[in-house]
Amino acid sequence: MSFAFQVSRRKSSGLVVTGCALIINGAALIVMFKQAGHIPVFNIFESFLFMTFILGTLSFFHKGSETRLGLWILMDILILLGVSLLFTHEPAPSNYNYEFIFIILFHVFRYISFALTLYSSAYFVEFIVQREKDERTRALSQQGRNYLLLSTVLFLISEYIGIIWCQLGWGDFWMWGVTFFQSTIIVLYLMLAFHIPGKGKYSEDIKAVFGGLTGLVVLILTVIRSFF
C-alpha cells in the first residue's frame, strides 16, 4: 500500500502506511527477541526483517523532495521481504554463542551496514533515472556516496570486531571460510566503487552504476553465504 501511495504521489497517506508498517515490523522483531532470547540478526529471515526496519525508519524520517527516492527505498524493502520469505519463517534457534558480545556486535554492525548500502543505492538509482545534471541531481549522487561511505565504515568496524571474536575463539589459527570470502569480495567491490577515476558526465554515470549495484552485490553474497 505504501508503494502504491508513493507511485500515486499521495505522500501523506504513504507516510501513515509506512509508519504502521514500521510499528508492525518493530513488533515482530521484539516478538522474535522474546521468543528466541537473542537479538534477531542471526539468520536470513530475522536479519532481513532487521534491515527492513532500518530502511523503513530512514524512509519515514526522510525529508527530501525527491518523490521517486521513496519508491526505490520501498523496492529495497520489498526485495528483502520477498527474499526472506524463501527461507524459514522463524528466528534462529537459541545458541550460547549468541550471548557473546563480540558475536552480537559483529552481526549488528554488519546488517546496519548492509541496510545503509541499500539506502545509498536508492540515491544512486534516482541519480541515474533523473539524468539532468543540475545541482539537485549531483546532490543525489553525493548523498549516495556519503551513505555508502558510512556503510563502509560500519562494515569495517564489524570486520574488526570479527577479528577480536576470532582471536578470542581460535587464537592464531586461521583458514578460508564462506564469511571470509564474502567479506573479501565486499571490500574489493567497495574499493572499486570508491576509486573509479575520471570526471564529467560519463564518469559520474559509471560511478553511480557501481554505487547503485553495491546493495545488490551485498544482498546476493548474503543469500549465497546462508547456504553454507
Per-residue pLDDT averaged across 8-33, rounded?
Answer: 81
198 Ramachandran zone, left/alpha/beta (phi>0; psi -120 to 50) = left
The pLDDT value given to residue 32: 93
The pLDDT value given to residue 5: 46
Using a pLDDT cut of 70, give the percent of the chain over it.
89
The pLDDT value given to residue 18: 80
Alpha helices in the chain (DSSP H): 2-7, 11-36, 44-61, 67-84, 101-130, 135-170, 178-194, 201-225
Task: Return d(Cα 26, Cα 24) in angstroms, integer.
Answer: 5
pLDDT-derived band at 184 (thresholds 50, 70, 90) equals very high
C-alpha angle 97/110/30, rounded to 5°? 65
Per-residue pLDDT averaged across 116-126, rounded?
Answer: 95
Where is pLDDT greater, at 139 or 62? 139
The pLDDT value given to residue 44: 93
On the question of pLDDT at 135 being above 90, the answer is no
Where is pLDDT greater, at 227 or 145? 145
pLDDT-derived band at 178 (thresholds 50, 70, 90) equals confident
Q: Which pLDDT tens digit goes with each residue over 34-58?
A: 999 999 999 999 999 999 999 999 9
CB < 8 Å & 24+ apart, contacts of 164-173: 164/102, 165/100, 165/102, 165/103, 165/106, 168/102
* Residue 217 grid coordinates: 552485490
Q: Which pLDDT tens digit goes with each residue over 60-113?
A: 887 655 557 888 998 999 999 999 988 988 888 888 788 899 999 999 999 999
* Residue 163 grid coordinates: 577479528
200 Ramachandran zone, left/alpha/beta (phi>0; psi -120 to 50) = left
Selection from 143, 155, 145, 87 nearest residue 115 by Cα: 155
Query: Chain-wide mean pLDDT for the chain?
Result: 87
On the question of pLDDT at 222 being above 70, the answer is yes
pLDDT-derived band at 157 (thresholds 50, 70, 90) equals very high
pLDDT-derived band at 30 (thresholds 50, 70, 90) equals very high
